[in-house]
Every structure is written in structure tokens, then in C-alpha cells.
């Protein structure tokens, strides 16, 4: 019997489009090579996600790589353009799941301060909602200094929840993350454009 449900954020709960930020960065004068693996900005995005850079450092460093007129606020706005919206049906499904007796609902995400604040303000804490309406526990890469697919982030969640992995399911849209969770003994659901987790979990 499933007692613990752990959800990814982007691509599962939150609709995202990474290309939005890349396009806007380049429109601000950032060379495309900076966004490729090995580029400075690519590394800064990783470091920001791990909490190794704060928001001010992240935005200023990228702004310095763009045109001379680019400001940190321009970078913040471009970066947040990745985040689209959370469908109301998903919020309702999370709320219903959390109301089941003996069930815990958690979030485990590779994210960063700007995106997390955006989601809280625009979705989880908007329209009379509160984060606690949806999640009992929240595990964020920038706070743990760990990111998927490192198995340790899943072990940390299991220890914190004091959960039995066999009674726990992890839902993610990335196959590599699904494999890592499975290696830790968790049940998994790979959310894809053809697999809707709300329907798969009968929510």
C-alpha cells in the first residue's frame, strides 16, 4: 500500500519551458556558447540550483556577460519566464491526496530561489491557498545542496519522512531521476506527455 507520495516540481506539477530563458538571455546579448555545457552560465545555473550562488550573484554574473545595458532585473525576469503555470486540476489533485488518512505528500525538486519564490507567490500561496495545503514536506536542491539524480537526495527524503521505500512512490518527468529513485527502493511513476499522473494515481 502506498503511504508516501513524492512529486517533482517542473514538468510534473509546474508547466515549464526552459527555452524561454535561453531565448531571452540571447536577446539580451548573451553568447549562445555560454548556455552550452562547459559555458560559464551553464555552470552558474547548476551552482544556483545547488545553492552555491545566491540570487544577487547569479543575476549579476549573467548580466555582466550580456550587453552593457543589461541589468540584474532583466536576468531575473528572463529566468522566471521558464515558469508557466500550474493547472488547477493538479492543485486539486494534490489537495485531495493529502486529505487521505495515513498519506504523506512531499515535493522533491531541483530548483532555485527565484523559481521557488515565483511558484509560491503565483500558485501555492495564491488565491487563498497555502503551501501546507499541498505538501507536508518540501525537499529543495538549493537548501539541501544536493540534486537529482544523486541517490543521496532520495535517501535524505526517506530518512526525513521515516518512510518505507516500498510504500513510497516518486513521480518525475526525467528518466534518469526515475532510475535513481528506483535504485533506492522507491516505487516510481515516469510522467510523460502520454502519462498523466492525475489519472494514473486515480486522483
CB atoms within 10 A of CB 183: 11
What pLDDT is recorded for position 52?
98
- Sheet with 187-190, strands from edge to edge, namely 137-140, 104-109, 4-7, 168-172, 187-190
Written as tens digits, the pLDDT of the chain (203 aa) is: 899 999 999 999 999 999 999 999 999 999 999 999 999 999 999 999 999 999 999 999 999 999 999 999 999 999 999 999 999 999 999 999 999 999 999 999 999 999 999 999 999 999 888 899 999 999 999 999 999 999 999 999 999 999 999 999 999 999 999 999 999 999 999 999 999 999 999 98
What pLDDT is recorded for position 178?
98
Global confidence as pTM: 0.95
Amino acid at each position: 500500500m502506498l503511504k508516501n507520495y513524492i512529486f517533482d516540481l517542473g514538468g510534473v506539477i509546474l508547466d515549464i519551458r526552459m527555452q524561454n530563458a535561453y531565448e531571452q538571455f540571447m536577446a539580451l546579448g548573451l553568447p549562445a556558447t555560454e548556455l552550452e555545457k562547459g559555458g560559464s552560465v551553464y555552470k552558474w545555473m547548476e551552482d544556483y540550483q545547488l545553492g552555491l550562488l545566491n540570487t544577487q550573484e547569479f543575476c549579476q554574473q549573467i548580466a555582466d556577460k550580456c550587453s552593457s545595458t543589461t541589468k540584474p532585473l532583466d536576468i531575473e525576469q528572463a529566468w522566471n519566464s521558464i515558469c508557466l503555470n500550474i493547472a488547477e486540476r493538479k492543485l486539486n489533485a494534490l489537495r485531495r491526496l493529502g486529505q487521505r488518512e495515513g498519506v504523506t505528500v512531499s515535493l522533491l525538486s531541483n530548483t532555485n530561489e527565484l523559481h521557488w519564490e515565483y511558484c509560491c507567490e503565483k500558485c501555492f500561496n495564491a488565491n487563498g491557498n497555502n503551501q501546507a495545503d499541498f505538501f507536508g514536506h518540501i525537499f529543495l536542491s538549493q537548501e539541501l545542496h544536493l540534486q537529482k539524480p544523486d541517490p543521496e537526495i532520495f535517501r535524505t527524503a526517506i530518512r526525513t519522512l521515516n518512510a518505507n521505500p516500498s510504500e513510497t512512490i516518486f513521480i518525475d518527468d526525467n528518466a534518469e531521476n526515475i532510475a535513481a529513485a528506483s535504485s533506492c527502493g522507491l516505487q516510481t511513476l515516469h510522467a510523460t506527455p502520454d502519462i498523466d499522473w492525475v489519472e494514473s494515481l486515480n486522483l
